[in-house]
Structure 1
Amino acid sequence: MEWTIWAGFAAGLLISTVTAPVGVSGAVFLLPVQLSVLGVPSPAVTPTNLLFNVVAGPGALWRYRRDGALHGGLARRLVAWTLPGVIAGAAVRVFALPGPGVFRLLVAAFLLPLGAWLFLRTLRPARRRADAAEPSARLLAALALTVGMIGGIYGIGGGSLLGPILAARGMQMARIAPATLVATFTTSLAGAAAYAVLALASPGPVAPDWWLGLACGTGGLLGGYLGARLQPYLPETALRLLLATLAAGLGALYAARAPL
């Protein structure tokens, strides 16, 4: 038990330090660690991951707020649509979709081409990139609602999905990262509460592994602060390539672990 607590802390610290500069909480990378290394059962791994986001999120958000990066309406629009999605996704996860196999296939099919696309667009000359405007209100709502539902089902915050999409459209990482982390934190808080309620009506392992989630989250709290502090010093191109690499690498990881 003790080794899993320290391993969870270290995993949360390392993952969040790398992912916070690009608006990703790291939960999507922590999920396979919890399943394969730390032995968290399914579907309890989902609320455990959401608990990680709740505890880890304030570290990066506090730093971004201190730097003045938490401004504008993008975060509010993302939150408004991801919240109903995460609650619906939690119900789907508990009562209709307990296994992780389909999720791995979907993540691989989505993130591999998206990461490659973002990588190629980043390497193009700036004059050939798309305009940095936000997606239309309707498209942004559809994206946020879908990502919220995916986050509710599988315990990921959504930044790993929203970030590459918005970055590939040409938006600046300094604007994307704080907004996606705000959406991740609020939806994770709602999702964790939804699972706590659903655990009362389900006989399976639905409640989170509280000690492990808190340990991972504490590491993520420190790592998120460090990553957010580093972001202003990293070039835009480096941040976009990092996000592209994380997206494609995660897609490849889940493709290798998906059932044949």
Structure 2
Amino acid sequence: MMGQAELVGFAVGVLIALVTAPVGVSGAVFLLPVQLSLLNVPSPAVTPTNLLFNVVAGPGALARHHRQGTLTGPLTRLLIAGTLPGVIVGALIRVFAVPGPTVFRVLVGLLLLPLGLWLCARTLRPVRAHNDPPSTRFITTLALAVGAVGGVYGIGGGSILGPILVGRGMPVAQVAPAALVSTFLTSVVGAATYAALSLTTSGDIAPIWSIGLTCGLGGLIGGYLGARLQPRLPDAALRLMLGLLATALASLYLLQAIH
């Protein structure tokens, strides 16, 4: 039977994934402060627990995108090529260097706040000029950096990849499935890396299985429903949603860092 923390985690997983999946975000980046503040998951274990959420929750949205035939493509391959090696590097940094969460929150907040506001403003008052699509080198380098961040803090990376790529002129319908595939595979590799490190490294770095699994089951349901909603939403609405999510996340992290 699920305890109170697991029930809360399940409900939060459904809600977060339902809102974030249409724009290619797994929701782990929003689940991170919930685990730390509400579910009281200890800091060393929160990273692999968040990765476990992505592993369990990911197939829901991916199954829906697979039925729509939108999973494969050049962008998906570029993101995977960058995030997979990046998450291994990030896991090593997390275990051996243990950077503080405050620095992470400040950096993510300062990155996403202007980007989210800009996306909202550009969607509400569109301009005629369009940005050129980002280069292959830019996408791969960005994916490598985001993969490393995901390995350190247990986030999928879609919350960072999505706003940047969409802001550079790529359509949400193209970015969302590629970001979700990248998030899922990165989380699998990241979780496996932490499992291997736990065999040779002292300290408790194993995930809180009950929290990760129940949150993930909620995310599995919410992600499938969210991916099903995506084709019914206009691109402008998806862009605005992504901008609002980025702004809300940045504000939340900056407030937590201040306090």
Give the corresponding residue for 1:4.
5
Give the corresponding residue for 2:90.
89
Change in 2 beyond 3 A, CA 1:127/1:50: same
CA deviation after TM superposition for structure 1 residue 120, in Å = 2.0
1:254 partnered with 2:253: yes
Residues 49-92 of structure 1, C-alpha deviations (whole Å, 9 max, x = no match): 00000000000000011012223211011001110000000010
Give the corresponding residue for 1:116.
117
Give the corresponding residue for 2:204.
205
The count of residues paired between Structure 1 and Structure 2 equals 258
CA deviation after TM superposition for structure 1 residue 218, in Å = 0.4
Q: 2-side partners of 1:171 and 1:254: how far apart?
A: 26
**What are the equivalent positions in structure 2 for 1:41-60 lying under 5 Å apart?**
41-60=42-61
Give the percent of matched residue pairs that are identical in Structure 1 and Structure 2. Answer: 65
Letter in 1 for 2:145: T
CA deviation after TM superposition for structure 1 residue 123, in Å = 2.6
Q: 2-side partners of 1:204 and 1:103: how far apart?
A: 22
Letter in 2 for 1:148: G
Q: 2-side partners of 1:230 and 1:160: how far apart?
A: 18
Letter in 1 for 2:201: S
**What are the equivalent positions in structure 2 for 1:96-111 lying under 5 Å apart?**
96-111=97-112
Residues 128-155 of structure 1, C-alpha deviations (whole Å, 9 max, x = no match): 2324x3x111111110000000000000
Give the corresponding residue for 2:241.
242
Q: 1-side partners of 2:89 and 2:56: how far apart?
A: 22
Q: Tell me, yes or no, if the aligned pair for 1:41 and 1:205 is still in contact at 8 Å.
A: no
Q: 1-side partners of 2:193 and 2:241: how far apart?
A: 33
Give the corresponding residue for 2:63.
62
CA deviation after TM superposition for structure 1 residue 125, in Å = 3.0
Q: 1-side partners of 2:28 and 2:193: how far apart?
A: 18
Q: Tell me, yes or no, if the aligned pair for 1:10 and 1:216 is still in contact at 8 Å.
A: yes
Q: 2-side partners of 1:81 and 1:100: how far apart?
A: 23
CA deviation after TM superposition for structure 1 residue 259, in Å = 4.3
1:229 partnered with 2:228: yes
CA deviation after TM superposition for structure 1 residue 198, in Å = 1.3
Task: Pick which of 199-208 and 215-224 moved more.
Answer: 199-208
CA deviation after TM superposition for structure 1 residue 94, in Å = 1.1
Letter in 2 for 1:65: H
Give the corresponding residue for 1:137.
136
Q: Tell me, yes or no, if the aligned pair for 1:42 and 1:99 is still in contact at 8 Å.
A: no
Give the corresponding residue for 1:214.
213
Q: 2-side partners of 1:99 and 1:44: how far apart?
A: 14
Q: 2-side partners of 1:95 and 1:3: how far apart?
A: 33
Q: Give the aligned CA root-mean-square deviation in angstroms.
A: 1.3
Q: Tell me, yes or no, if the aligned pair for 1:42 and 1:98 is still in contact at 8 Å.
A: no
Letter in 1 for 2:28: A
Residues 14-55 of structure 1, C-alpha deviations (whole Å, 9 max, x = no match): 000000000000000000000000010012100000000000
Task: Pick which of 31-40 and 112-121 moved more.
Answer: 112-121
Partner-residue secondary structure (3-state), 2:128: helix
